[in-house]
Amino acid sequence: MSGQINTTDLVDISSVRVDSSLPKQERMTEYVRQIKKPLHFMCLGYEITSIHAEDGPPLEDCLERIIK
């Protein structure tokens, strides 16, 4: 990740609330809207940075597993 990011600018995933009655695509959209940076966020005071291998699953598949 290039540049410095102030961790106070990152969203804590525990604050994200997604209506489970929404269709899957809308849940994923709402999650990304709230978390802002799905590959870089906070979780219980820890900074989380997600890095994916080029031959790994697409981000959409990873988000789908989180949102279920």
CA distance 31 to 29: 5
**Within 10 Å of residue 33's Cβ, how many Cβ atoms?**
10
Model-level pTM? 0.67
Whole-number pLDDT of residue 1: 47
Whole-number pLDDT of residue 2: 53
What are the average pLDDT values for consecutive 10-residue runs of the chain, which has 68 residues?
A: 74 94 94 92 91 82 77
Whole-number pLDDT of residue 13: 93
CA distance 50 to 38: 8
